[in-house]
């Protein structure tokens, strides 16, 4: 309808039509679709599939994506010096995220253990980058996407960098983490340094499973 209104406005301006028949027509409101994410059972099934069919590098990549919400290029750009792991805490430093923004993302115990194991037992390349390949000192976005596509086929889930990132954001929202905290963790920050809350509100949107579960709770059984 918006496109038709624009066309008729042009026709009126050019003298080809006496009026715009769309001017008083209210546009149809389309419900915004919730972003796709993996629920906890699907995340566990994905990790089991990687343990069975993959290697330590693939397991670490997917674990880090699930537990940090990094963008795929941010993951590829990580250098060893950007990963700080102590006995009880750790952090990943994103030197240049989207828009060239710097941020620090804490590492939970699952991510710390995965990275530690990978550094000790899975990484042999002398590259300064955290994730390397047999042929290159730095992983690429396309290479990561190829890995995820492999597990999408094995599990039947929609496994992409965006889905894993959204899964991280949704898990935080479900646990009632404040939106400004989620925004900072995920790199949704305005030019003035304030959190961009508009970019993270969709992580609170219910998906089909959430809606079905809410209605099911009304059952008398």
- The helix, strand and coil proportions of the chain, stated in percent and rounded to the nearest 5, come to 55, 10, 40
Interval 174-198: pLDDT, tens: 999 999 999 999 999 888 889 889 8
As a whole number of angstroms, the distance between CA 98 and CA 96 comes to 7
Domain range for 124 is 40-216
Among 132, 130, 160, which residue's Cα sits nearest to residue 38? 160
124 has pLDDT over 90? no
Question: Does residue 18 fall inside a structural domain?
Answer: no
As a whole number of angstroms, the distance between CA 221 and CA 84 comes to 51
Please tell me whether the overall predicted TM-score, pTM, comes out greater than 0.85 for this model.
no
3-class SS of residue 221 = coil
Question: Does residue 50 fall inside a structural domain?
Answer: yes
| Range among 10-14, 183-187, 199-203, 209-213 rated most confident | 183-187
Question: Does residue 54 fall inside a structural domain?
Answer: yes
Tell me the CA distances in angstroms from 129 to 124, 171, 194, 195, one per residue in order.
12, 28, 30, 29
Asked if residues 182 and 172 have their Cβ atoms less than 8 Å apart, the reply is yes
- CATH number where 80 lies: 1.10.443.10
Question: Does residue 165 fall inside a structural domain?
Answer: yes
Question: Does residue 32 fall inside a structural domain?
Answer: no
């Amino acid at each position: 309808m918006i496109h038709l209104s624009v066309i008729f406005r042009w026709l009126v301006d050019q003298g080809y039509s006496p009026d715009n028949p769309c001017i008083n027509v209210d546009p149809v409101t389309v419900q915004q679709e919730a972003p796709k994410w993996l629920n906890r059972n699907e995340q566990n099934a994905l990790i089991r599939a990687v343990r069975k069919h993959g290697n330590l590098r693939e397991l670490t990549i997917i674990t880090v994506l699930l537990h940090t919400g990094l963008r795929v290029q941010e993951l590829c750009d990580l250098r060893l010096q950007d990963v700080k792991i102590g006995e009880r805490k750790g952090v990943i430093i994103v030197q240049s995220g989207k828009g060239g923004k710097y941020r620090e993302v804490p590492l939970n115990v699952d991510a710390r253990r995965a990275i530690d194991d990978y550094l000790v037992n899975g990484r042999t390349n002398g590259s300064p980058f955290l994730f390397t390949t047999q042929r290159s000192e730095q992983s690429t976005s396309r290479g990561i996407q190829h890995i995820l596509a492999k597990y999408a086929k094995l599990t039947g889930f929609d496994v992409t960098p965006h889905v894993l990132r959204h899964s991280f954001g949704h898990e935080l929202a479900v646990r009632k983490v404040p939106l400004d905290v989620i925004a900072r963790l995920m790199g949704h920050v305005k030019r003035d340094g304030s959190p961009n809350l508009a970019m993270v509100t969709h992580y609170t949107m219910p998906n089909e499973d959430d809606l079905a579960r809410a209605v099911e709770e009304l059952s008398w059984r």
